[in-house]
Amino acid sequence: MPNTVILGAQWGDEGKGKVIDIFSAKADFIVRYQGGNNAGHTVVIGEDEFILHLIPSGILHKGKVCIIGNGVVIDPKALFDEVDMLEKKGVSVAGRLLISEEAHVIFPYHRRLDELKEEQKKKIGTTKKGIGPCYADKVARSGIRIIDLLRESTLKDKLKANLEEKNAILTKIYGVEGFSFDGLYREYLEYGNMIKKYVANTALVLNDAIKKKKRVLFEGAQGTLLDVDHGTYPFVTSSNSTAGGASTGTGVGPTKIDKVIGVVKAYTTRVGEGPFPTEFPEDLMDRIRRKGKEFGATTGRPRRCGWFDSVIVKHSIMVNGIDEIVVTKLDVLDDLDFLKICTAYKYDGSIHKDFPADIRALDDCEPIYEELPGWKADTTQITSYLRLPKNAKNYLKRIQKILKAKIVLVSVGSDRKQTFSKSE
């Protein structure tokens, strides 16, 4: 297995957790490179369901080393809640999890600022986990990193400086109470004591592993259209969820990455605010949402659902350099009489096949569709591409032709076993 990035090629929630879990079986190292506990990767193994927000999905495979890279922002409480959950389910974390000393730390004031900003008139639809404010501190060069939790004097100085600024914003701009230094200082010193056994120079670990021909799997969170540079800005996350983030978020140079795999649903979803050209009407939305269990793994919020949008996926293929595609949740479409694929947008009086940067164009555009017949048959028990109904195969073939990217895996259910390779 070459060094591979697996990421979402839509607005997130594409089923990456399951796909990463499958590919982890052949990897030696699995590394998360961006985002925070605003992500939720779900893996179903028999009767057990695991929802992971920070720790890479590869932790569910014995003997794998999992790394949280420098590009991730870490809420220590969320991290240790996840460690406890895994240990209680019999998954050993000790000696298998490494955390970058350069990763930035989320504090309660980040969460409070996130909540307050989201309560303003123009919502972005964040998870209110403090992700954006933490990344803002990172870019402003005032952030506190994991390594700082291990140095009492450094933590004291940085936390005092941050609280002076944050408390002024909270009290004078938002009119709410600030935070006490003593309580936060003691709490995060203790987190430092708890986390130090996991902390490492992970860039060095990964580059040494690659030199030794070990196989590395880079795990993306969210999706391409939520990338802060290449997504539907400003309705995006605060990090680079595209393949480029795998290098900046781990310290592994781009020449060391061999392949990029994009994960897409057989339809389209997004959570929160922002444009969504192919969004279903309410009756179909409710039907697909219930069948696909389209509720956020992190927040429980209902996801918006719509027809497959090839415009956004072609954009994802371009900006990520995607080599192969995995299609998930094909089974959710089993009951439909017909299906639609969006191939272009109409706005400003003309038809456009490229993804526009102008958010107003996405808001105002009319999607141009191709319509295909449905297959009206249960696919959840199918274990081979060749056994799929003819119209299901035609749907996948058409998607592949439009995208000009090879579909390599198809998923027809949440369990590991409900996945098979696509062969012509």
The catalytic residue positions are 13, 41
Rounded Cα gap, residues 108 and 101, in angstroms: 20
Q: Which token pair is 58?
A: 């590869």
> 129 φ, ψ to 5°?
-95, 0
Residue identified by tokens 């944050």 is 166
Q: For residues 376 and 336, what is the distance between their CA atoms, to the nearest angstrom?
A: 6
Residues contacting residue 70 through CB under 8 Å, at least 6 positions apart:
100, 102, 103, 202, 203, 249, 250, 251
Burial class of 153 by CB neighbour count within 10 A (0 to 12, 13 to 18, 19+): exposed
Neighbours of 355 (CB within 10 A): 21
156 phi and psi angles, rounded to 5 deg: -60, -50
Backbone angles phi, psi at 98, to 5 degrees: -120, 140
Structure tokens at 199: 């902390």
Q: Measured between alpha carbons, how far is 117 from 124 in angstroms, rounded to an integer? A: 9
Q: Which helix (H) or strand (E) holds 17?
A: helix 16-24
DSSP label at residue 256: G
Please, which residues have CB within 8 angstroms of residue 21's CB and are 6 or more apart in sequence?
43, 57, 58, 60, 61, 416
